[in-house]
A = this chain, B = another copy of it.
Amino acid sequence: MSEKRHEIDELGEFGLINRITKNFTLTNSTSLTGIGDDAAVIAAGNDNLLVSTDMLIEGIHFDLSYVPLQHLGYKAIAVNVSDIAAMNGKAEQVTVSLALSNRFSLEAVETLYNGIKAACENYKVDLIGGDTTSSVSGLVISVTVIGRAPAEKIAYRSGAKANDIICVTGDLGAAFLGLQVLEREKQVFLADPNMQPNIEKYNYLVGRQLKPEARTDIVFDLEDAKVIPTSMIDVSDGLASELLHLSNHSGVGVRIYEDKVPVDHQAYETAIEFNLDPVTCALNGGEDYELLFTIRKEDQEKINKHPDIHMIGYMHDRKSENVMITKQNNFVPLKAQGWNHFKEN
């Protein structure tokens, strides 16, 4: 019998997770939802608790040659808080585990924690635990966040129905373009260390990449407007990938309009400068940490004056037809080309 070795990147991250977790079942009555959404759900009295975790690895998720440690600490918390917001919940606690090589001084660790602390204060979450150890090489940050929501307010990926309106917050593609700018400046610097980085005109994009914010404000605004999203996810891998998640979990199809996809003007101009299509950056760029959600048609008027919520399309009942309708009225199939940390290597 041959024992062929199979490479992980044949499957990709989602394939690997599916393969591994299909043998696991939930047995405790308090485990309400396991793997497969932005956060797991645990019974806890009147509310449910939401649990999510993310690991950031130096050389894979961040490059310390242009990511300041303080921003990295902030981002590590923000992206986890975003996963709780994506369930329509409120983050309350985090644990932070660090592995550090001896390249890092005490001062460097304190700078990292200054960012963690700034994010904890901004999002009103408490640091309640963690683990700190040395590493053979580089920095690893693993964060687990715990949030809370009444059961009836939790928004899963699976609740969208045909005719629901698709909404997205903020603007998309800027974080990806910020990364392109930073990578280009790094190459310029490596070629000639006397060159000063020229990123001022890209300040919005670079800020979106280095210090993204979780849209916890939207969770409060939806509560005030008495709107519970029928489905919800945060935009970490790119709009197209997240739309396909909602389609897949909810069993309905997606139609969005190209001219409704929100792209900031700095992102638009920079995309052109890089010979990239701005909407493609929005669809596939990732790391925007905006919220993508669906609402019932009758809730539309409750939030259609919100300055930062954009209605970009609607759900329909043919679940395999996930398309973007272009400005020329062509139907373009949506494809997930988001970030795959296994395929990047």
Binding site for B on A (CB under 8 A): 3, 5-11, 13, 16-17, 19-21, 23-28, 30-31, 33-35, 39-40, 42, 44-47, 49, 51-55, 57-61, 92-93, 95, 97-100, 102, 104-107, 109-110, 113, 117, 120, 124-138, 140, 142, 144, 146, 148, 341-342, 344-345
Contacts and interface: CB of A to CB of B under 8 A. Distances in A.
Contacts of A46: 45
15 contacts: A8-B100, A21-B127, A24-B126, A28-B126, A31-B93, A35-B130, A40-B93, A51-B146, A52-B129, A53-B130, A53-B144, A54-B131, A57-B140, A97-B142, A99-B140
Nearest to A54: B131
Contact of A109 (B20, B44, B51, B104): B20
Stoichiometry, as copies per complex, reads: 2
Contact of A34 (B9, B47, B124, B128): B128
Contacts of A140: 55, 57, 99, 135, 140, 142
Nearest to A129: B40
A170 B98 CA distance: 31
Q: How would you classify the secondary structure of chain A's contact residues: helix, strand, loop or mixed?
A: mixed
